[in-house]
Amino acid sequence: MVDLEQIHGILKERLRESRYVHSLGVQKTAVELAKRYHAPVEKASIAGLVHDCAKGYNKAELLNYAAQFGIILDNVTRKQEELLHAVVGAELAKREFQIEDEEILNAIRFHTTGRANMTLLDKIIYLADYIEPNRKFQGVEALRQQALSDLDKATFMAVNQTIAYIIFQNKLIHHDTISARNSLLMDLEGLRQE
């Protein structure tokens, strides 16, 4: 893997200043959550820092990278730039930063949509992206408080808020987001069949 200081330098150059500051906030929050929930701190730090590494590209560039990398895009991802950066970002992290750890790459890949059966690291990065200190929106403080006591419930709350926002914006909801919500709810209510 490329040295973390080099990654910082590349991201600082590539991303808008506000996006770079956001990435630092996600990294810090991910490390705090990893310590609290006994997840690998180094993996959380790397995934948190790198999660938006493709955010500086426009839709045409992201689609070009997806084609170049052989990423098969579903129709929802293809139409929404907000989702494209995550799948392209995971591949860029692998190619540009030589990150080989699939758990880190998946946390980057699914940080915007979530997915069914999210791993501990998936939840940490999804939530850290949502509640990092620079985020300001109604309900963020309640989510931050919930994140201190119940990661699953906080992630579920964040997914619910995301779905409500997407509906309000009249945009497409990715099937992975619906699957993430249903999976989290089944876990929270003890409905999962083994």
pLDDT at position 191 is 74
Q: Centre a 10 Å sphere on the Cβ of residue 18 and count the other Cβ atoms it contains.
A: 9
pLDDT in tens, 147-181: 999 999 999 999 999 999 999 999 999 999 999 99
Nearest Cα to Cα of residue 109 among 60, 74, 145, 150: 74
Domain boundaries, the chain: 4-188
Q: Centre a 10 Å sphere on the Cβ of residue 60 and count the other Cβ atoms it contains.
A: 9
pLDDT above 70 coverage of the chain, percent: 98
Residues 6+ apart with CB under 8 A from 136: none
pLDDT in tens, 59-106: 999 999 999 999 999 999 999 888 999 999 999 999 999 999 999 999
Asked: is 4-188 a CATH 1.10.3210.10 domain? The reply is: yes
Quote the pTM value: 0.95
